[in-house]
Amino acid sequence: MKRLKVAIIEPSLIVAEGIEAVVRRLADYDVVLNVRTVAEYHLRRCADVDVAFVALSHAHEELGAVQKIGIQTSLTEPDVVRGVSTIVSLYSTEEEIVKALGEGVDTPTTTNFSDSHELSERERDVLVLVAKGYTNKEIASELFISPHTVISHRKNIVHKTGIRSVAGLTVYAVLNKLIDSEQL
C-alpha cells in the first residue's frame, strides 16, 4: 500500500509537533510538511499531499484537492468547520487521530457538514439533557425514545456543531441559551 503524504498547517508549534509525533509513529503515513500558515504551505509545498491537518482558523483557505482535517484548539463557531473532512482536538487520543486520518482520506471535503447547522427541536432537547449530565439511557427514558434514537440525535448534534466533547456541547448549550448555567 502507498504511504500517504500528510501536511500540518498549525500556528502553534507545540500542537503541530504533537500531531507530527503521532503521525510519524503510523506505518501508512509520512509527514512531508509542517508549517505555521497556508501561505507558507503554498511556498514550501514540495510534494503532493494527500491529507492536511489544518488549524480551524485556516480551514476556509484553499489547498486544492487536499482533504483537510481540522485542528480544534478552542471553542469554534459551527460555520468555521465547513470545508474540513473531520476534526481533531487537543484532547483527541492517538486512536481518534488515526480514525480522523482515515476519514480525511476517504471523505470528500464538501459532504461532511450539513448546509443547515440549525438543530431540530428534538436535537435541542437531547443537547439540554446531555449538558445536564444525563446518560443516553436516561435521555431515552426522559424523552420516551429508544437509546438508539438518542445516539442518532447525538451524532447529528456533533455533525451540525462540530463539537464532540460533552463539556464543549455544554458550553454550546449555554452560549446558545438552550440552558441556563444555573441548571447545570
Tens digit of pLDDT for each residue in 71-93? Answer: 988 766 555 556 677 788 888 88
Q: Which domains does the chain have, with CATH numbers?
A: 4-111 (3.40.50.2300), 121-183 (1.10.10.10)
Tens digit of pLDDT for each residue in 29-68? Answer: 999 999 999 889 988 876 688 899 999 888 878 887 788 8
3-state SS class at 67: strand
Closest CA to 2 of 33, 29, 23: 29
- Phi, psi for 42 (deg, rounded to 5): -65, -35
User: Is the separation of the CB atoms in 25 and 36 below 8 Å?
Assistant: no
User: Is the separation of the CB atoms in 3 and 29 below 8 Å?
Assistant: yes
Predicted confidence at residue 136, as pLDDT, reads: 93
The x, y and z cell numbers of residue 26, run together, are 503510523
Tens digit of pLDDT for each residue in 164-182? Answer: 888 888 888 888 889 887 8
pTM of the shown model: 0.54
Predicted confidence at residue 74, as pLDDT, reads: 76
